[in-house]
Amino acid sequence: MSNIKLLSEEDFIPAMEGEAAQWREHYVKSGDMTATDGTPLRYYKAKAPAAKGYIVMVHGFCEFWGKYHEVAWYFWQMGYSIFFLEQRGYGYSGGKGSESDVVVIDSYMTYVEDLKLFMDSVVLTSDASGRRFLFAHSMGGAVAALFMEDHPGYFDEAILSSPMLMMKTRIFPEPVLTGIKLYGIVSGNLTKSAPGQRRWDGVNVFETSSTQSKPRYDYQFSMRCEDVHYQTYGASLSWGIASMRANRRLLRRAGRVKVPVTIFAAGADHLVDQEGYRIFAKKAAKVRIIEFPDSKHEIFNSTEDNRIRYYEEIEKILI
């Protein structure tokens, strides 16, 4: 890596509490915007000196700004201004349901609408010039794909990390989804925790998590324990239905994506079905898939050798 020291397991916590914390204090600014339906949304941004361009970051399911402190710091060191929106229902953004640890959404197009407003009212009004990148992880990858399909021209290139283009549960037929939604409405369970989903209980589950770096897991887990805003933990029926419909829509319309897309694929991913990557790649204009055969879902929180290769590949894209 050129002029960037990637953090080892031993270096991570001291750096996050030291040098990286100082970076966040001096360069990262938070702000709030209001979605078209009145929902308050929190965002973060950091302008890089003599920036080469900017990177808009779209997080995944049950995530928040703190989980990306390291990733954003590296992007900034690579010479890019960063913009990060905590999507509705997560972090300090509004939109949580009656059970605040359960994720509720009507349609992924609501996420897309929020992202477009963020682009128009924050990113494009922040004196941000140069190359324009979209970086998205997991659920954020589905949002990013939908955004690029409906709103071309905003980005020059996209980096999708373990994007949720197809869940392991595959995609139920539309009549089945309609039936599940009707059941949820009639039973009053549509916005409550879906069957099999865990609620927030404050129990450390590193061994069964999507992370292979314990210091990185502990860092974000401690933030969850200390702040109720970060305790989203499971899906509602409405989120599951919306996710499958989003997968169907984005795969059907992938041919609309004309910018180069790099997909980082985790071979030991227990959440995302890589068949979605192959379908997407056949239809979109220019897709490259980079495999990490022994990585779990969060490649940026994988083993050290995977993390080094991950950031080396990203730097090749950004230079």
The pTM assigned to this predicted structure is 0.97
Q: Residue 14: give the domain boundaries.
A: 9-318
Residue 270 within a domain: yes
Is residue 3 one of the residues assigned to a domain? no
pLDDT band at 128 (very low <50, low <70, confident <90, very high): confident
Q: Say if residue 245's pLDDT is above 80.
A: yes
Q: CA 52 to CA 79: how far, in whole Å? A: 6
Q: Is residue 2 part of a domain?
A: no
Work out the pLDDT band at 19, boundaries 50, 70, 90.
very high
**DSSP type of residue 272:** B
In-domain check, residue 254: yes
| Chain centre distance of CA 214 | 20
Task: Examine residue 178 and state whether it is found in any structural domain, yes or no.
Answer: yes
Q: Is residue 192 part of a domain?
A: yes
**Alpha-carbon torsion 28, 204, 165, 173, what sign?**
negative
Q: Is 228 within a domain? A: yes
Pinpoint the alpha helices (H) of 28-103.
69-77
Confidence band of 65 (pLDDT split at 50, 70, 90): very high
Query: How many domains in the chain?
Result: 1
| b (16+ CB within 10 A) / e for 247-285 | bbbbbebbebbebbbbbbbbeebebbbbebbebbbeebe
The answer to whether residue 57 is domain-embedded is yes
| Residue 134 pLDDT grade (very low, low, confident, very high; cuts 50, 70, 90) | very high
Q: How far apart are CA 117 and CA 122, in angstroms?
A: 8
Residue partners of 1: CB distance under 8 A and separation at least 6: 308, 311, 312, 315
- Look up the CATH number of the domain holding residue 93: 3.40.50.1820
